[in-house]
Amino acid sequence: MRLSVNDLACERGERRIFQGVSFVLESGEALVITGRNGAGKSTLLDLLAGRLTPAGGKILWEGAGERTLAECLHYVGHRDALKSALTAEENLTFARDFLGHPAMKPGEALDAVGLAHAARLPVAYLSAGQRRRVALARLLVAERPLWLLDEPTSALDTASQETLRLLLEKHREAGGMIAATTHSPLFLRDAKEIRIERVIRSSARVDAEHGEAGEAP
Ligand SMILES: Nc1ncnc2c1ncn2[C@@H]1O[C@H](COP(=O)(O)OP(=O)(O)OP(=O)(O)O)[C@@H](O)[C@H]1O
């Protein structure tokens, strides 16, 4: 499988966020996406996940047979996208049924992220780091080769960060692919890295440091 991104550009709120982003990701590879706050890292994941449409460039997904890119990816964003009234196990059961290509059972996936003891607690009762681990356990309940992860270590303690690193490396060893944004090192073996830079338009005063949403374009 191969994900090829060529000369990708993105606009939000009629402002150019970035342009000229190109990379290739093949089976077993990891891509770490870095850049300053507001540079467009989450935006790049949104484009790959099909949640936004590019202003230019191409995203090509090859080698997965009939399965489209959307059917081949997991997306774990800033928001954990869990149903708080349901237990951790119920959330994973729902995800497993919904996503198709079932892999680990919910209980096994929770065990893999060190949360077996919290399986029957409503997600509303869990800490931020525990909720993050449930969200990451979703990666394990349905087989999808491409994992798109937005700051996956946020809220995780050191031990959970190491657990996550091992899960990511195992996924790569099985031929999976990872694209992850981060502000801190993920310690992934031989990862590719791309740094997203905000487009600077001198006439419009959009710059990487001060160009937050709502400012004049
Ligand atoms: N819905 C939206 N409409 C307009 N602009 C938006 C929207 N969402 C995000 N933006 C802008 O797009 C730019 C890129 O945002 P993005 O969240 O991709 O940055 P990031 O690199 O992930 O930042 P951080 O490191 O802070 O998470 C920012 O200037 C942001 O304000």
Domain ranges of the chain: 1-64+145-217, 76-142
Between 147 and 202, the higher pLDDT residue? 147
pLDDT at 125 over 90: yes
Q: What is the mean pLDDT of the chain?
A: 92
Look at ligand 1, atom 18, and give the residue with the nearest C-alpha: 40
**What per-residue confidence (pLDDT) applies to 78?**
87
Residue 184 CB burial class (10 angstroms; 0-12, 13-18, ≥19): exposed
From CA 146, how far away is CA 111, in angstroms rounded? 22
In CATH, the architecture of 1-64+145-217 is 3-Layer(aba) Sandwich (3.40)
pLDDT by residue (tens digit) across 64-118?
999 999 999 999 998 889 999 999 999 999 999 999 999 999 999 999 999 999 9
Percentage of the chain beyond pLDDT 90 is: 88
160-167 mean pLDDT: 96
**What per-residue confidence (pLDDT) applies to 206?**
40
From CA 174, how far away is CA 177, in angstroms rounded? 9
Between 210 and 21, the higher pLDDT residue? 21
Look at ligand 1, atom 26, and give the residue with the nearest C-alpha: 37
Cβ partners under 8 Å of residue 186, min gap 6? 30, 32, 152, 153, 165, 168, 180
Q: How far is the CA of 151 from the centre of ligand 1 (A)?
A: 14
Q: Determine the residue of 16, 17, 47 to mutate for testing ligand 1's pocket, defined as the one with the most ligand atoms within 8 A of the Cβ atom.
A: 17
Look at ligand 1, atom 31, and give the residue with the nearest C-alpha: 213
If pLDDT is split at 50, 70 and 90, which confidence band does 213 have? very low
pLDDT by residue (tens digit) across 165-195?
999 999 999 999 999 999 999 999 999 999 9
**What per-residue confidence (pLDDT) applies to 79?**
86
pTM value is 0.91
